[in-house]
Chains A and B, each alone.
Chain A
Amino acid sequence: MGYSIAQKIIARAAGRDSVTPGEIVTCSVDLALLLDSGGPRRIWPRLKELGAGVWDPDKIVVVTDHFTPAVDAESAAILQLTRDFVREFEIPRFFDMQGIGHVVLTENGFVQPGMFACGGDSHSSNGGAFGCYMVGFGAIEMTGVVVTGEIWLQVPETVRVNWSGAFGPGVAAKDIMLMLCRELGINNAFKVIEFGGDTVAGMTMNERATLTNMAAEMGAETGIVEPDDTTLAAIRAGGQHPDAAALDWCSDADTDYEAVHNFVATELAPQVAAPHSPANSGPVGEVTNVRVDQAYIGACVGAKLSDLHMVAEVLNGRTVAGGTRLLIAPASQQVIVDATTDGTMKILVDAGAYLLPTGCGACAALGAGILAEDEVCISSTNRNFKGRMGANSASVYLGSPYTVAASAVAGQIADPREMLV
């Protein structure tokens, strides 16, 4: 029996020939992502308590995103502490107010096939799109990583999810994930979701990252896509030089998957997840007469350049409905530059979109754009738990950038396909 790419990477990181699902191993970490939220502010006091330093500053990447820009004394202090930490431990790769960590990491080509990486944030699975094993941990465990360079793992099972065929107009990777949260559930702890098939092979890296990002919503250990030439081109575009053997990291033809699921993309309709769970999803047509106060384009999953392109496709020549506000928080500074250069930004603001700074923004109710009591929002973010984006009584629906944009134009949740014909 063969092994999945995830099992091969874990075995390599654990210094073993092979590993079996269920066994406990200790892995050495190739890259650790620390964010302002659960990074230095929680780790540094613990390092002081332990009298310890960081195991390898060259393997750490620090990004500020959750509390940027500072809006009050507390967020300013958190950002200051993060900058002080980077100086104290001489960490070369520091990205201050450059965008959301998961996106900054991939834009710079830092995550590469075969790596064993971890991040102090649940959406660290985002990096798995690049054929690495990247997984999220809490700040307490990231403290252990920063001190020892190691983490324990129970070797997960791998579930293979194949998609074939081309999307219809107005359908995107986000719709795949909202549908999978419903079909495969959100209780996939200790499982890796490996995405494949010709639909995935034809996707840009941004769209593949949407898949692995939201493996977190499925409750999975992480998500992963086997690397190909598209992967290597994106890493090179980020200024890095992938290993010549990078494409050797793939699953064996006779991999012993826990399950294999096959879906057809051609048949997929745009999906919307109703409050308060990503699994509470269905075709957009089933959600009728839902008036929208706020349409939100943001987050690591839903405000990359490709996402803004989807929004612009819908908004081109249209305007946001009266009584509805469309907020856009691009996923990185690079996205702002690129969308300005290629003309996308003009389409967005001409349509009446309100532009926010890059960062996590309203996604987790930490930045600008949070919801008031009883408000209704449709969002391109990844989670719609009660209270996630502000008031407990607010209702958050999740959709693709296409669907969010169409809903902003209609003033109610709307099917983007009607605006793309």
Chain B
Amino acid sequence: MTSISGRAWVFGDGVNTDVMAPGLFFKAPLEVLAAHCMEAIEPAFAANIVVGDIVVAGRNFGVGSAREQAPMALQHLGVGAILAESYGRIFYRNALSFGIPTLLFPQAGEIVAGDELVIDPLAGRIENRTRAKMYTVAGLPEHLMAMVSAGGLMPYLKQRLSAQGAS
């Protein structure tokens, strides 16, 4: 997995999955749902995000519902990586299962909206180019590296099933 670079979108604590994927648009196709991602708290998000941009958040990012449409909407909009102080557990697992690099970042509060970030998810290196600062955080857990590197759970399951088929 190569490094990821993009602008930071900064959110506070406790951003929940209902806000990322509102139930009102649940039956709509992903592109419609994604257009309303974060609308309740940051109406400009879906329209202005650029592919590769990075979501930076405080504590308990993705708390709440198990809806996988939350990370799917972020991925559809082009989010390159997620950095937060802590995560809702199902969101964290879902995001990794979609192959989105999702790192614990205790110093998330030091990032300002629009900062240029470069991230190496496996090594756990985060560079803030705008403020010329480097951070080292825990890289992806070892048992998940294979899955995230493969691009997520689906490609990983494919590898596993074809290995079984071959043996």
Contacts and interface: CB of A to CB of B under 8 A. Distances in A.
Interface string A49-60: 111100000000
Interface string A211-245: 00000000101000000000000000000000000
Contacts of B135: none
A283 B126 CA distance: 44
Interface of B: 14, 16, 18-19, 22-24, 26-28, 39-41, 59-60, 63-68, 71, 86-94, 97-98, 141, 143, 152-154, 157-158, 160-161
Nearest to A392: B40
Contact of A187 (B28, B65, B86): B86
Interface of A: 24, 37-38, 42, 46, 49-52, 67, 72, 74-75, 78, 120-122, 136-141, 143-144, 147-148, 152, 186-187, 189-190, 219, 221, 277, 364-366, 370, 383, 385-388, 390, 392
A78 B91 CA distance: 23
A386 B88 CA distance: 17
B27 A390 contact: no
A50 B86 contact: no
A406 to B, nearest CB: 27
B66 A140 contact: no
A78 B40 contact: no
Question: Which of B16, B63, B88, B97 is most buried by chain A, counting CB atoms within 10 A of its CB?
Answer: B63
Contact of A219 (B40, B60, B93): B60
A217 B68 CA distance: 17
B24 A365 contact: yes
A118 to B, nearest CB: 11
Contact of A365 (B22, B92, B98): B22
B86 A38 contact: no
Contacts of B68: 38, 42, 138-140
Contacts of A187: 59-60, 63, 86
A410 B97 CA distance: 48
B63 A186 contact: yes
B100 to A, nearest CB: 11
B97 A122 contact: no
A137 B18 contact: no
Given A189-B87, A189-B88, A138 B18 contact: no
B19 A221 contact: no
Contacts of B66: 38, 120-122, 136-139
B98 A24 contact: no
A30 B60 CA distance: 30
A140 B98 contact: yes
B90 A388 contact: no
A385 B18 CA distance: 7
Nearest to A144: B153
B162 to A, nearest CB: 9
11 contacts: A51-B161, A52-B161, A72-B27, A138-B90, A139-B68, A140-B94, A140-B152, A219-B63, A366-B23, A383-B64, A388-B23
Contacts of A386: 18-19, 40-41
Contacts of B87: 189
A50 B156 CA distance: 10
A187 B62 CA distance: 11
A143 B98 CA distance: 12
A137 B24 CA distance: 22
Nearest first, the 6 A-B pairs at minimum CB distance are A365-B23, A74-B27, A138-B94, A138-B68, A122-B66, A189-B89
